Chains A and B, each alone.
Chain A
Amino acid sequence: MKHWFGSLRILAIIALVVLGTQTFPQSSWAEDHSIVVASTTSTQDSGLFGYLLPIVKRKTGIEVKVLAQGTGQALDTARRGDADVVFVHAKSAEEKFLAEGFGVKRYPVMYNDFVVIGPKGDPAGIKGKDVLTALQTIKTRAAPFVSRGDHSGTHIAELKLWKEAGIDIVNDRGSWYKEIGQGMGAALNMASASNAYVLSDRGTWLAFQNRGDLTVLVESDKRLFNQYGVMLVNPVKHPTVKKEPGQRFIDFLISPEGQNAIAGYKINGQQLFYPNANDPNA
């Protein structure tokens, strides 16, 4: 009967080891100085946050925990009170969020642009065309097209472009139109693997490593403008919102210092985001 304590001892030792070496870095996240920012996959996948957050920490002392979720999900997380700040890119959805009373105020922060990506061979022949003609051509040729399909800012922009091109994409799609319901990176991976066309924000594209045969085919069309905005979640709706550090984070982003920092983020010498906090119409 003595042996059978063995297994209990094993478990006790494992338990002690685990509890003893518990590496949860909870202590380093001082409550008052950390905020949760619900944001889009593009701000993370492009590497912007990796570059910007250490600067924010140094200048303001605020630890930012980023949830990279896509605009629709990010706004929903904030609606539930699970984030302090939202940093997204779909003005219409942001204004709806404000109108519902979930946000305090929207501040424009920066912009970049969307690009239509496709295989170098360009089987549908859209290179250099304006974006609406390009989409019409893709539809006519039934060329494979990957859609985010996740209510992200990029997906919302894509749906708006199809509409402007006079195409009812919900009813007029064929098997060439693949709605994957995933993030920008996943959409680019799929386009790369299947030589399909895809709409991407330029930031994610520039940082993306698995390009395969893909290249930028349509760009510099004013319809491809992509504006980012930031909002504090309304503390009246959710009293747990960390109002003071949240607002300080926003104030830093729109300050000349923060705007310069954003402009300074480059990949291979190419600037990814253009600050425009001073543009009242953005």
Chain B
Amino acid sequence: MNDFTQALDVAASLISRFDPELSQIVGLSLGVSLTASLVAFAIGAPLGTALAIYRVRGRVGLIVVANALLGLPPVVVGLAVYLLLSRSGPLGALGILFTPTAMVIAQAILGIPIVIALVHRIMVDVWARYGDALLVDGASRLRATLPLMAIGRDGLLTAFLAAFGRAIAEVGAIIIVGGNVHGYTRTMTTAIALETSKGELSLALALGIILIILSMTVSGLSFLIGRILTGR
């Protein structure tokens, strides 16, 4: 248990003296993962809703694919994005490999199937319950989309947080496309991997504790904001 108490001590001391390097890493982790999960949400939520409402050809196939991709290994996504963004790859001219932008892209790709699958699951229920009423009211399926998303907003928040959880916790993709560059693309998870490899196990575990606190804060704040804004 010595390792754990030591890690708690280190974590407390890092937080209490507002370590500048830690603040920078935390800022980057939050910035990259929140941006990526918002992008994933912006793309995935309308798609997931559409899949629940419209009976288009290949719909089942898309749903199966989105659900299968829930288990997309980050390291594979990282490698694919790396090869795309490499100077020798098709998008090499952008010059964004080993930048935070590349990390956002990789994490957004990981988040999209999560958002699609969860939003679809939620919207199928909501549509079954309210779809007919909305159509009777004279709304087209397209115009019914927004009210439908509003009714299922709690579920949408869950989908967003699931994408965020995936992003903030993963290391496999961003360590490949970001390169874990000190002061530039080093995040909480890549710093944990690095400190582990240096044998600084209590520091690594301390960073892990801080990461969990961070995740909880984001989740708590999201629900709180949701409560306040919807007046419930």
Which residues on A are within 8 Å of B, measured CB to CB?
1, 3-11, 13-15, 18-19, 21-26, 29, 36, 41, 44-45, 49-50, 53, 65-68, 80-82, 182-186, 188-189, 192, 207-211, 238, 240
Contact = CB atoms under 8 A, between A and B. Distances in A.
B213 interface: no
Given A6-B153, A18-B31, A80-B88, A25 B199 contact: no
Interface in B38-75: 38, 41
Residue of B34, B149, B151 most packed against chain A (CB within 10 A)? B34
Interface of B: 24, 27-28, 30-31, 34-35, 38, 41, 86-89, 92, 95, 97-101, 146-147, 149-151, 153, 156-157, 160, 179-184, 194, 196-201, 222, 225-226, 229-231
Contacts of A10: 153, 157, 222, 225-226, 229
Contact of B157 (A7, A18, A24): A7
B131 to A, nearest CB: 15
B38 A11 contact: yes
Given A11-B41, A23-B24, A65-B181, 20 more contacts: A3-B150, A7-B157, A7-B230, A13-B229, A14-B38, A18-B34, A23-B27, A23-B30, A24-B101, A26-B100, A36-B98, A36-B181, A49-B182, A80-B86, A185-B199, A189-B197, A210-B199, A210-B200, A210-B201, A211-B199
A7 B98 CA distance: 34
17 contacts: A1-B147, A4-B147, A5-B150, A7-B149, A8-B149, A10-B153, A19-B35, A24-B31, A25-B24, A26-B99, A26-B100, A29-B184, A68-B180, A182-B197, A185-B197, A186-B196, A186-B197
B153 A4 contact: yes
Given A11-B160, A13-B225, A67-B98, A41 B87 contact: no
B25 to A, nearest CB: 10
